[in-house]
């Protein structure tokens, strides 16, 4: 069922060009008063492309590319934007897409026939029917010049608005070899945005958001460890760092908060750090350097805990909020959901005490993590319910990638872990929280879903700001009928829930 799920009451972190974050490329269509801006995907799963009116900086259209964007070109006569993307896969393939964005409908199609596509380096409209395409070679196998050269071809269509997806064949892309430099256009893009507005700010995905009793709102995001927003809507302070904020828990003293950076990934990744920051001005009050990857979670009694995080950079970590115990997914031939007890609060202990860190030996198997025999399930966000049961999101492993119906949210019994209901979709969940009636789930395509805790019945909502989609990357229940939503473009939405979804 699709229905209005929430109303956005105010937006924190709003600014011009918010949708694209850090600009990597900007291309103008001066006769039409348009500017296309592609964002960097260094801190994001996808690369956004926004098209703006240069008079009022309104975002007309938005798409998200699976690969970095190298080139864009406005059609000379039709409301179309051609977008060339791609990257080297680290082995020997150059993969990418030729995307065509319809500026009137907002629809975008991928035009290359081959499943892996080609890395598209440059595009130029020669006239209304002919598009010049410069591509990397398909691969660099025994080709030492592949990274500095390419192939050029001219693709012709009588009406580019009628071109079907996947209809440009490999034969049409065959062309002569030419030099193909890969220029860095980021500084030019930054200057183009600065020339239109001095207020743009390259914020990135909000990973955690919480409200304080005094009405201030805290957020952890890329690349800010923690920031505080006043009830007036002004940012009070921010603690930037070379590592991003990922988790946050307000300490028991009410005057400080713990914040954790991302799980390290890669041989050159910085060590993970957990810091305690003053809520007055963001000053650092303490620091923990865990011996292994951890997630910072808020327990049911409000205290922070550090629990072991999964590998792969934490991309498949089980992150359970408000637990009466600590949760992990064990790895091995069979994955298990394991838990460890939490110590009783110290009667006279310091209110800002360090987070509890259960040892790996303290965890005991409860039930098999995958609730469907023969499947392997990756982890996602979750929350413990008052009855001790668990609602969590995840995906089903498949060597071909995420398959239709391969993303799930499940409610499991406290004892035995049997699924009471399962909600499936085709997109990976990005955030989850629950109140006494519903579990609220955000997805990477901009959808928000409220799942009835009794039977999993869904109320679906597409999150938009203005005329374009926003991707929810953090969700927190802020009280009866209120939901805080952090977005992939660095904004924080203070929302009222519809009567039927609270």
Instruction: Compute the distance between CA of residue 304 and CA of residue 276 in angstroms, rounded to an integer.
Output: 11
CB contact at 8 A, 97 and 112 = yes
Are the CB atoms for 451 and 458 separated by under 8 Å?
Answer: yes
pLDDT tens, position by position, 447-468:
999 999 999 999 999 999 988 8
pLDDT for the residue 3: 60
**What pLDDT sits at residue 351?**
53
Quote the pTM value: 0.89
CA-CA distance, 471 to 18, in Å (whole number)? 12
Cα–Cα distance between 146 and 76 in angstroms, integer? 31
Q: What CA–CA distance (Å, rounded) separates 320 from 331?
A: 17
Burial class (CB in 10 A: 0-12, 13-18, 19+), 212: middle
Q: With 0-12 CB in 10 A as exposed, 13-18 as middle and 19+ as buried, what is 387?
A: exposed
CA 364 centroid distance within chain: 32
The whole-angstrom separation of Cα 306 and Cα 130 is: 58
pLDDT of residue 43: 41
Q: Report residue 472 as tokens.
A: 């929810």
Q: What is the pLDDT of residue 349?
A: 52
Q: Across the chain, what does the average pLDDT equal?
A: 91
pLDDT along the chain (502 residues), means of 10: 79 95 95 95 70 96 94 98 94 94 95 93 98 96 93 98 96 96 96 96 92 97 93 95 84 92 69 91 93 90 88 67 94 89 67 80 94 92 96 92 92 96 95 96 94 96 91 95 95 89 64
pLDDT score recorded for residue 243: 65
Q: Determine contact, residues 440/430, Cβ cutoff 8 Å.
A: no
Longest dimension (CA), the chain: 78
- At 460 the pLDDT is 93
Q: Report in angstroms the alpha-carbon separations of 203 from 96, 207, 265.
A: 26, 12, 22
């Amino acid at each position: 069922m699709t229905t209005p799920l929430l109303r956005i009451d105010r937006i924190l972190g709003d600014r011009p060009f918010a949708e694209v974050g850090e600009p990597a490329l900007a291309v103008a269509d001066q006769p039409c008063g348009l500017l296309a801006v592609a964002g960097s995907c260094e801190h994001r799963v996808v690369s956004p492309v926004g098209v703006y009116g240069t008079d009022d900086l309104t975002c007309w259209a938005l798409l998200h590319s699976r690969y970095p964007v190298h080139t864009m070109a406005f059609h000379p006569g039709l409301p179309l934007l051609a977008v060339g993307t791609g990257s080297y896969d680290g082995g020997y393939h150059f993969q990418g897409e030729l995307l065509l964005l319809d500026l009137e409908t907002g629809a975008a199609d991928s035009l290359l026939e081959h499943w892996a596509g080609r890395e598209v380096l440059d595009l130029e409209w020669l006239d209304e029917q002919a598009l010049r395409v410069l591509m990397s070679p398909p691969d660099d196998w025994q080709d030492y010049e592949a990274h500095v050269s390419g192939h050029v071809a001219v693709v012709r269509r009588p009406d580019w608005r009628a071109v079907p997806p996947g209809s440009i064949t490999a034969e049409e892309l065959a062309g002569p070899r030419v030099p193909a430099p890969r220029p860095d256009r980021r500084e030019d893009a930054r200057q183009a945005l600065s020339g239109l507005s001095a207020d743009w700010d390259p914020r990135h995905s909000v990973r955690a958001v919480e409200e304080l009793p005094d009405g201030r709102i805290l957020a952890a995001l890329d690349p800010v460890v923690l920031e505080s927003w006043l009830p007036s809507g002004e940012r009070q302070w921010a603690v930037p760092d070379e590592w991003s904020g990922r988790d946050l828990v307000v300490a028991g003293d009410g005057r400080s908060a713990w914040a954790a950076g991302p799980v390290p990934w890669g041989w050159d990744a910085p060590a993970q750090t957990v810091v305690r920051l003053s809520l007055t001005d963001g000053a650092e009050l303490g620091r923990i350097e865990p011996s292994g990857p951890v997630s910072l979670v808020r327990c049911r009694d409000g205290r922070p805990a550090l629990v072991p995080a999964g590998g792969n950079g934490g991309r498949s970590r089980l992150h359970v909020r408000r637990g009466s115990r600590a949760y992990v997914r064990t790895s091995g031939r069979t994955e298990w959901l394991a838990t460890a007890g939490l110590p009783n609060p110290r009667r006279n202990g310091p209110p800002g005490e360090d987070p509890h860190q259960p040892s790996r030996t303290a965890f005991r198997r409860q039930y098999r993590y995958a609730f469907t025999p023969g499947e392997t399930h990756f982890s996602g966000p979750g929350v413990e319910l008052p009855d001790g049961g668990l609602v969590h999101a995840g995906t089903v492993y498949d060597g071909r990638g995420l398959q239709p119906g391969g993303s799930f949210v499940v409610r499991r019994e406290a004892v035995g872990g049997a699924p009471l209901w399962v909600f499936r979709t085709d997109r990976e969940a990005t955030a989850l929280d629950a109140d006494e009636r519903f579990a609220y789930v955000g997805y990477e395509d901009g959808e928000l879903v409220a799942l009835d805790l009794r039977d999993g019945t869904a109320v679906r909502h597409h999150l938009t700001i203005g005329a374009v989609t926003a991707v929810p990357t953090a969700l927190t229940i802020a009280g009866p009928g209120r939901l805080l939503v952090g977005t992939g473009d660095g904004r924080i939405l203070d929302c009222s829930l519809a009567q039927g979804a609270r």
